Amino acid sequence: MSLIADITAPADLSDEQKVQLTRHPKIIRLSRKSKRLVVKIRRLEYTSVPASKGTRLYDRKKKTDAILNRKKMKIRDKMRR
């Protein structure tokens, strides 16, 4: 097994693949959920998401973002193959 990366492998997605990623139904759903949580946090008069640290909304926002990022990575990996 080699420790050297394959220099012929694509390093990033094509523009078309990036568009496909942003239009994926699960990505859209999670992105909207994340944005809704930001709106709720702002309604509670927090100046930023980090300012709401220690609240349930903050925890939900961070969890949603983590799920969103994992899903994006999973889809990107499938697209690269």
The number of CA neighbours under 13 Å toward the Cβ of 38 is: 9
Domain locations in the chain as residue ranges: 15-80
Q: Using pLDDT thresholds of 50, 70 and 90, give the confidence band for residue 4.
A: confident
What does pTM read for this prediction? 0.80
Residues 34, 30: Cα–Cα separation, whole Å: 6
pLDDT bin (cut points 50, 70, 90) of residue 62 is very high
Average pLDDT over residues 57-66: 98
Q: 5-49: per-residue pLDDT in tens?
A: 666 666 688 889 888 889 999 999 999 999 999 999 999 999 999
pLDDT of 7: 66
